[in-house]
Amino acid sequence: MIGDRLKRARAAASLSMQALGTQVGVSANMIKKYEHNASMPSSGVLIKLAKALGVRSEYFFRPVQVQLKGVEYRKRSSTSASLLKLIEADVLDQAERWQELANLWPEFPVPDFTVPDGLPQHIASLNDIEAFAAAARSAWDLGQNPVPNMIDELEARGVLVIVTKVDEKAKFDGLQAEVAGKPVIVVSANWPGDRQRFTLAHELGHLLLQGRIADGVNEEAACNRFASAFLLPASAIKKALGEKRSRLEARELLFLKMEWGLSMQACLYRTRDLAIIDPALYKGMFIHFSARGWRKREPGSPCVMECTVLFQQLVYRALGEGILGESKAAELLGMSLMKFHQARKLEPLDAAANQ
């Protein structure tokens, strides 16, 4: 039955029953009946619904339906319930396509996520996070070098990363959940790269630190410390800045940002956490950041935004290995068959081809 999918797609499109009904040419009451599975739209109405909601007709009959379990939003106080519904609808749609693709493979070439062995079992204070993050980097053979791409790193370890375009005004700070036994981390396509990377590392912290944090240690603070330590190891920042500093140049923080993909402000926090600078210098530089407007917009070029191509790669791989056909590949990628043909031939995509 299409009711649940219609309701979710309408939420994702931010349309009321009345607005959708007007576009499709039926009453709001009829939309309500469709959503409650009290009536079934005709094929003509179904096509109009798909066009109005920006989905393919096949979406309403997708054989896979997943649930987000253990959803944890890192949201701001200004985040509206309607925005969270939009994000969740988008995440569910992408997760369902992931699961449908996985079900088509005899052996899906994405590993299950496992917490590395050998990590410290007990975090008694925030300072214990340093050794924990170092152990996590060692377990993943990251050495002391910057992580080139956090999304690639997480996906290689079995974490499903979904990049949503819904959050246009950056009103939430990340989402973590579980789909079909796989951990899911959601970030926005509209964030700068340093914010995406920090959020991904923060959510990784929640996955790895679960059950290890002592009472009295704030979990969010612990995950923030983990994100900073995982992305910029203590040994690396001390090599760049020295063990102790009585003064610090802002450009030094900019250099760190461009090399390690961590914001200047996060690098400044890092110097405080590691006692490279004293509290008085940290406070003075923090005030300087605020006065210059750098807390909202830092100087220099933004860090390159991260994206995920794993799903697309696996769709084309499945096509090449004969696991699925062109029509199913186009459906999973959310493309019209005409647009998919263009993409497959590496031709410039015609914007009108997806209409």
What is the spatial order of strands in the sheet that 172-179 belongs to? 69-75, 172-179, 182-188, 160-164
Least confident of 111-125, 218-232, 328-342: 328-342
Secondary element (H or E) of residue 333? none
Asked if 57 and 32 touch (Cβ cutoff 8 Å), the reply is no
283 and 253 inside one domain? yes
- Residue 333: domain span: 325-355
pLDDT digits (tens, 9 = 90+) for 57-68: 888 888 777 877
Indicate the residue type of 227. A
pTM of the predicted model, to two decimals?
Answer: 0.86
138 and 266 inside one domain? yes
Secondary element (H or E) of residue 228? helix 219-231
Domains held by the chain: number: 3
**Whether pLDDT at 167 is above 70:** no
Q: What is the pLDDT of residue 349?
A: 64
Name the token pair of 148: 């080139």
57 and 82 inside one domain? no
The Cα 20–Cα 144 span in angstroms is: 53
Q: Find tokens 């493979």 and name the residue.
A: 105
188 and 305 inside one domain? yes
299 and 353 inside one domain? no
Between 259 and 12, residue with greater pLDDT: 259
pLDDT digits (tens, 9 = 90+) for 11-25: 878 889 999 999 999
The Cα 305–Cα 321 span in angstroms is: 31
The Cα 165–Cα 90 span in angstroms is: 9
- As a whole number, mean pLDDT of residues 227-242 equals 97
78 and 187 inside one domain? yes
**Whether pLDDT at 239 is above 80:** yes
Q: Find tokens 């579980």 and name the residue.
A: 178
Least confident of 70-74, 94-98, 210-214, 288-292: 70-74
**Whether pLDDT at 272 is above 50:** yes
How far does Cα 100 stand from its chain's mean position? 20
Instruction: Tell how strand 69-75 and strand 160-164 pair up.
Output: unpaired
**Whether pLDDT at 76 is above 80:** no
Q: What is the pLDDT of residue 352?
A: 45
Q: What is the pLDDT of residue 231?
A: 98
CATH code of residue 18: 1.10.260.40
Q: What is the pLDDT of residue 355?
A: 45
215 and 255 inside one domain? yes
CA angle 130, 131, 135 (to 5 degrees): 120
355 and 218 inside one domain? no
182 and 302 inside one domain? yes
26 and 114 inside one domain? no
Compute how many other C-beta atoms are within 10 angstroms of the C-beta atom of residue 304. Answer: 13
- As a whole number, mean pLDDT of residues 256-283 equals 97
- The contacts found for 302-305 with CB under 8 angstroms, 24 or more apart, are 302/192, 302/193, 302/194, 303/192, 303/193, 303/194, 303/197, 303/257, 303/258, 303/261, 303/263, 304/193, 305/189, 305/191, 305/192, 305/193, 305/196
Q: What is the pLDDT of residue 220?
A: 93
179 and 302 inside one domain? yes
Question: Percent of the chain at pLDDT above 70?
Answer: 95
pLDDT digits (tens, 9 = 90+) for 173-206: 788 888 888 899 999 998 999 999 999 999 999 9
- As a whole number, mean pLDDT of residues 336-353 equals 79
- Smallest CA-to-CA distance from 298 within 262, 269, 274 is with 262
CA atoms within 13 A of residue 48's CA, in its CB half-sphere: 13
What are the backbone angles phi and psi of residue 71, rounded to the nearest 5°? Answer: -65, 130
Question: Percent of the chain at pLDDT above 90?
Answer: 71
23 and 114 inside one domain? no
Beta bridge partners of 186: 162, 175
